[in-house]
């Protein structure tokens, strides 16, 4: 049995199963219970060698999430990981503290994993300096606009709340 089998059996995305296996707190109690029930029923044991190989792969995207309690991000991640999986990409979610520097985390990830790209959710724009371009991977800022930052490898998807409320 693989993590994909658990996802299919439980009805949840691979990313959600991964978060349960890694004891991430951002999974709903109902989802956690269902996934753990499938894991127990099939006596699933994670393969540490496979996990290590997956972490060393360079076919993935790093998803850096600032904070662990934002349910909007959980919903965004669930959908994003499903789409990435359909297209053959591996995504790894990195949860960082609300006060942590997400660009410093991205630098560490790039040094260790060599991802194809990085997606930032819930970011503090003051950490985004031209130094980000040195990572030499495409970066995407969600929920904040990168329009005024002038960093060549940084794009964004955001909503203008003022205009949207009119």
Torsion of CA 11, 40, 34, 24, to 10 degrees: -100
pLDDT tens for residues 31-77?
Answer: 999 999 999 999 988 766 555 555 555 558 999 998 877 677 888 88
Q: Does the pTM exceed 0.75?
A: no
More confident of the two residues 162 and 51: 162
**Mind listing the domains of the chain with CATH numbers?**
1-55 (1.10.260.40), 57-166 (3.40.50.2300)
Least confident of 32-41, 58-67, 128-137, 150-159: 58-67
pLDDT at 45: 82
Half-sphere exposure of 13 (CA within 13 A, CB side): 19
Per-state percent for the chain, helix, strand, coil, to nearest 5: 50, 15, 35
Q: What is the DSSP letter of 87?
A: T
User: Residue 159 pLDDT > 70, yes or no?
Assistant: yes
pLDDT at 22: 78
pLDDT confidence of 107, banded at 50, 70, 90?
very high
pLDDT at 58: 56
């Amino acid at each position: 049995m693989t993590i994909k089998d658990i996802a299919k059996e439980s009805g949840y995305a691979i990313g959600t199963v991964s978060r349960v296996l890694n004891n991430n707190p951002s999974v709903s109690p109902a989802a956690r219970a269902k996934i753990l029930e499938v894991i127990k029923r099939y006596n699933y044991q994670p393969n540490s060698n496979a996990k290590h190989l997956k972490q060393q792969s360079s076919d993935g995207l790093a998803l850096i999430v600032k904070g662990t309690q934002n349910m909007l991000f959980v919903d965004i991640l669930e959908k994003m990981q499903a789409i990435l999986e359909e297209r053959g990409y591996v995504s790894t979610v990195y949860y960082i503290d609300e006060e942590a520097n997400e660009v410093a985390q991205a630098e560490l990830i790039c040094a260790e994993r060599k991802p194809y790209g990085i997606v930032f959710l819930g970011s503090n724009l003051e950490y985004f300096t031209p130094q980000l371009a040195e990572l030499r991977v495409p970066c995407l800022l969600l929920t904040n606009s990168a329009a005024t930052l002038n960093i060549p490898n940084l794009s964004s998807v955001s909503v203008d709340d003022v205009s949207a409320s009119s």
